[in-house]
Amino acid sequence: MTVPLLALRDVVRDYGSGLAGRSASLRAVDGVSLTVEKGEIVGIVGESGCGKSTLARVVAALDRPTSGEVLLNGEDLVTMDKRALLRRRDRFQMVFQDPYGSLDPRRRIGWSVAEPLGVLTPRLSKAETERRVAEMLEAVGLKATDATRFPHEFSGGQRQRVAIARALVTRPDLVIADEAVSALDLSVQAQVLNLILDLRERTGAAFLFITHNLSVVEAICDRVAVMYRGRIVESGATGEVFEAPRHPYTRLLLAAEPGRAGMALDREEKSPPFPAEPGDWNGCAFRPRCVEATETCRREAPAPIEIVPADIAPAPRPVDWRAACHHARATPPPAPAGDLAAPRS
């Protein structure tokens, strides 16, 4: 059996007092398990505060989970000592929403792109470093001579290209992109997404793409994981999940996307408060917003169930579609307009 590039096993991240014996005040990530294969682009979606960025930081080893495993090529980054982790740092890189934040305004672009090489492969010669920087700048559609310019001389889209060049210069296996295109105009966004697809083809890098934008996920992600209150409620191939979502929250998210026909969404219902204590909440976290909720949903948190795609009979393939809902079915339920607008309880 091949080892996935990234495997998250039951990852939990609590924010709280930090005092021993005291329970946490907030569970931002609640038992997330997920895999990313080599060269795959996996999207994490969900509304603000659902734990996307916390998960991204844990995967990038910028933050430690409260419990769980983060396996990169089978090695657990959580239990790894600092020196071993530093040696693996060239295997994964992060791209943030604000390229200004990751580019030093006083440094020339060439320096910023080269910096990870200096930290991670310090024995590289000056000539080889310059060659790698020029190669990366050209790969992201800039000129090699741009290396001598400063960040303020570039547009937002160009700066995001520089940030991507910086992330890919060490030839990482995995790039964790947190809202990496959200601040860009639609046309520039499309250019950067095409660039990412192109770079995936050329370098074989996998991407974990954190976004609240479903159109972005549809455009580039092979698979999608939908998060709600720290948990993955549905995951699977993007086309299948978006075509016939099985979790009511996925349907709600899709219906709320401008330009998509579907159920009405009462915007007041968005962003419900998190439980003050993780233990306060039994049952399904989505229950207060779901018209399908029953007594079972009140009592028991639903475990993910496997969904069998309709075409499984003529072309058997591994089942990779899961929904954590007591009422998820193998076939899509009829969804009359407005059925999620008014919660039952």
Read off the DSSP letter of residue 181. T
Binding residues among 204-233 for ligand ATP as defined by CB under 6 A: 212
Q: Exposed, middle or buried by CB within 10 Å (0-12, 13-18, 19+), for 145?
A: exposed
3-state SS assignment for residue 329:
coil
Answer yes or no whether residue 53 interacts with ligand ATP by CB under 6 A. Answer: yes
Name the minimum Å distance from CB 126 to ligand ATP: 39
Answer yes or no whether residue 64 interacts with ligand ATP by CB under 6 A. Answer: no
Instruction: Tell me the C-alpha to C-alpha distance, in Å, between residue 161 and each of 67, 97, 181, 202.
Output: 35, 12, 10, 16
Give 46 or 245: the residue with its C-beta nearer to ligand ATP: 46
Give 146 or 178: the residue with its C-beta nearer to ligand ATP: 178
Q: Distance between CA 184 and CA 182 in Å, rounded? A: 6
Q: Cα 158 to chain center, whole Å?
A: 22
CB atoms within 10 A of CB 330: 12
Taking CB under 6 A as the criterion, the residue among 92, 209, 228, 274 binding ligand ATP is 274
Binding residues among 1-30 for ligand ATP as defined by CB under 6 A: 15, 26, 28
Answer yes or no whether residue 54 interacts with ligand ATP by CB under 6 A. Answer: yes
Dihedral through CA 6, CA 39, CA 113, CA 85, nearest 10? 20
Read off the DSSP letter of residue 312. G
Taking CB under 6 A as the criterion, the residue among 2, 18, 48, 186 binding ligand ATP is 48
Host H or E run for residue 154:
none
Taking CB under 6 A as the criterion, the residue among 39, 49, 262, 338 binding ligand ATP is 49
Taking CB under 6 A as the criterion, the residue among 41, 45, 50, 325 binding ligand ATP is 50
Answer yes or no whether residue 78 interacts with ligand ATP by CB under 6 A. Answer: no
Give 28 or 216: the residue with its C-beta nearer to ligand ATP: 28
3-state SS assignment for residue 298:
helix
Total of residues contacting ligand ATP (CB under 6 A): 13
Name the minimum Å distance from CB 151 to ligand ATP: 23
Name the minimum Å distance from CB 177 to ligand ATP: 13
Query: Taking a C-beta distance cutoff of 8 angstroms, is the pair 136, 19 a contact?
Result: no
CB atoms within 10 A of CB 311: 10
Residues of this chain that bind ligand ATP (CB under 6 A): 15, 26, 28, 46, 48-54, 212, 274
